[in-house]
Amino acid sequence: MKGFGTEIRNLRERLSKDSKEFSVRRVAAKIGVEPAYLSKVEREVVPPPSEVKIIALAKVLGADEDVLLALAGKVSSDLLCIIKDRPILFAELIRKLKEEPDHAVLRIVREVKDGDW
Amino acid sequence: MKGFGTEIRNLRERLSKDSKEFSVRRVAAKIGVEPAYLSKVEREVVPPPSEVKIIALAKVLGADEDVLLALAGKVSSDLLCIIKDRPILFAELIRKLKEEPDHAVLRIVREVKDGDW
DNA sequence: CAAAATGAGTACTAAGTAGTACACAGTACC
DNA sequence: GGTACTGTGTACTACTTAGTACTCATTTTG
């Protein structure tokens, strides 16, 4: 699997090619951390930052929050809250869907979206 | 909301009424912690223990793991792994199901179980 | 070439996590 | 009436999390 830091570095370097707004320093400032820290995060010298910083990074770099969080080994706290509200229900559902292929899960998503509940 | 410690204490005291196997000391030994620590956990003097100890507690006290974990503000790590494997898919599904009533979610669970995917 | 910006190295830290170890007073048993 | 078990108070600790602060050597740019 690709690391979180590597992904951030790739995203940032792509953007920095045609804008001076995406140096380590600028991005670090935008998300509210020290440049040296972001540098270390990108080189994976330190573990990924907190959820708040990861979400800020996703916004700045135009990436998907949930994907970046997953690369960092985390799950968005709003999802956790939803599960914690009804632990038995969601635990059973998620464990069942573990073995199902993407298209099957996607079908359910659509069903919920369009369905007349 | 009822706290995690209170729930543990209730479960344990109920069991200890007709068996000497459920004193703080005995249960603490069964799950591999010091009695003083379990006592503090039950009185909520300290935050809930780690996932491993909570699952051990659930087994010893005959409670649902996911419910106890939820009371402790946690979500089972096996569920987290499933979500992290396909973050976009599961994030969308779970957020959609947030607003749905229990019976709707249950219907989906049964559909997955019985359906010919 | 001088000034500014770039990424990176080192050292440190405050707060939280997950407990242990020991001691002690009250109660129950027989 | 001593032994043994009950729950609990106090003190301490190792590890992890999530960073800051300062420094420095190299580009890059005007």
Q: What is the pLDDT of residues B37-58, one digit of tens each?
A: 999 999 999 999 999 999 999 9
Which listed CATH number (1.10.260.40, 3.40.50.150, 3.10.580.10, 1.10.620.20) goes with B4-75? 1.10.260.40
Q: What is the CA radius of gyration of chain B?
A: 18
State how far the Cα of A36 lies from the Cα of A114, in Å rounded to an integer: 47
State how far the Cα of A14 lies from the Cα of B111, in Å rounded to an integer: 44
- Residue A52 is encoded by which pair of tokens? 């708040």
Which listed CATH number (1.10.3720.10, 3.40.50.1820, 1.10.580.10, 1.10.260.40) goes with A4-74? 1.10.260.40
Q: Between chain A and chain B, how many beta carbons pairs sit less than 8 Å apart?
A: 114
**What's the Cα-to-Cα distance from B25 to each of B30, B38, B51, rounded to whole Å?**
9, 8, 20
Nucleic chain C: which protein residues 19-48 of A have CB below 7 A from it?
20, 23-26, 35-36, 39-40, 42-43, 45
Percentages of chain A per state (helix, strand, coil), in multiples of 5: 70, 0, 30
State how far the Cα of A78 lies from the Cα of B64, in Å rounded to an integer: 23
Query: What does the DSSP 8-state code read for residue B117?
Result: -
Helix (H) or strand (E) segment spanning residue B80 = helix B77-85
Q: What's the CA B1/C1' D7 distance, rounded, in angstroms?
A: 25
Nucleic chain D: which protein residues 16-35 of B have CB below 7 A from it?
16, 20, 23-26, 35
Residue A108 approaches strand D within 7 Å at CB: no
Spans of all domains in chain B = 4-75, 86-114
| Phi and psi torsions of A16, nearest 5° | -75, -15
pLDDT of residue A35: 98
Cβ distance B38 to B28 under 8 Å?
yes
- Mean pLDDT of the residues in chain B: 95
> Residue A117 pLDDT more than 60?
no
pLDDT of residue A113: 64
Identify the residue whose tokens are 């009804």: A86
pLDDT tens across A4-40, in order? 999 999 999 999 999 999 999 999 999 999 999 999 9
Q: What is the CA radius of gyration of chain A?
A: 18
